[in-house]
Amino acid sequence: MIRVTVWGENVHEKTNATVGKIYPEGMHECIAQALRRDPGFEVRTATLDMPEHGLTEEILENTDVITWWGHVAHGKVEEKIVSRVHKRVLEGMGIIVLHSGHYSKIFRRLLGTNCSLKWRECGERERVWVCNPSHPIAQGIGDCIELENTEMYGEPFGIPPPDEQVFISWYEGGEVFRSGNCWRRGAGKLFYFSPGHETYPIYHNPKIQMVLRNACKWAVADGPRWVDACPNVPIEKAPEKLTLKGESVHVPGQAGFR
């Protein structure tokens, strides 16, 4: 079983009537149900307003992949929780960041850049093209996904070069955007997928849902949990025979800030 935690801000759903109508149980619940269509997933949801934003140590310990949708409340996510999620990703927990999550603390922390972009909200048409048809995340999608009404996200996108480019989007207003990008961070895999503006029923779209399921499967770690350390390998344990030359100033615990 792949254990997925779908995290949502759950703010717009409660404050905006349009969003509330499209996602009566919240975007997170819609996404969770899309994942549950595959019996290989075990899905829970978590939202900003829960204690610890629903991301307790125990829940994250038992999460293989987390999905993240946030927008107006990035600043309200506690640093302590961001660090907890960051640590789990480096250990091997996969993470799928969605739409306005490009400005989330966790995404910017994993990438080290601003992740800025251009944007326009007027319901224009988007076409999400597959530029890498053999990629696991693109399987079953065909040529492209057509979205009748979306929010434009346009280049330049302030990200480090993706390790893998899966999708590039076309917008009716004339812009383009790298809409499906993969990176490795530690033992974890990160996929950013841009469609998902809250005032359109994008997460109800079957192809979008397929991308989410593909991405969660792709994002599962390939090996056991990576336990990070900065181990000293003493002379006697060196693979080759060594003698001490000069004095050692090694002071246990001096290896630096952690």
Binders in 44-63 for its own copies, by CB under 8 A: none
Which stretch in 26-34, 36-44, 49-57, 165-173 sits in contact with its own copies by CB under 8 A? 165-173
Nearer to its own copies, 206 or 231 (CB): 231
Nearer to its own copies, 43 or 97 (CB): 97
142 within 8 A of 130, measured Cβ to Cβ: yes
Determine which residue in the list 114, 202, 207, 211 makes contact with its own copies, applying CB under 8 A: 114
**Residue 90 exposed, middle or buried by CB count within 10 Å (0-12, 13-18, 19+):** middle
d(CA 91, CA 228): 7
**258 touching its own copies, by CB under 8 A:** yes
Determine which residue in the list 8, 26, 54, 92 makes contact with its own copies, applying CB under 8 A: 92
Identity of the amino acid at 34: A
Q: Which helix (H) or strand (E) holds 94?
A: strand 94-98
Nearer to its own copies, 43 or 115 (CB): 115
d(CA 189, CA 163): 10
d(CA 130, CA 147): 14
Determine which residue in the list 20, 52, 119, 207 makes contact with its own copies, applying CB under 8 A: 119
Q: What is the contact mask toward its own copies in residues 195 to 224, using x (rule: CB under 8 A)?
A: ----xx--------------------xxx-
**84 touching its own copies, by CB under 8 A:** no
d(CA 195, CA 192): 10
**248 touching its own copies, by CB under 8 A:** yes
d(CA 87, CA 236): 32
**142 touching its own copies, by CB under 8 A:** no
**24 touching its own copies, by CB under 8 A:** no
Which stretch in 32-40, 50-58, 61-69, 85-93 sits in contact with its own copies by CB under 8 A? 85-93
Instruction: State how far Cα 183 lies from the chain centre.
Output: 10
Q: Scan for tokens 């703010």, then name that residue.
A: 11
Minimum CB separation from its own copies for residue 124, in Å? 6
**158 touching its own copies, by CB under 8 A:** yes
Can you read off the two tokens belonging to residue 122? 């007027």
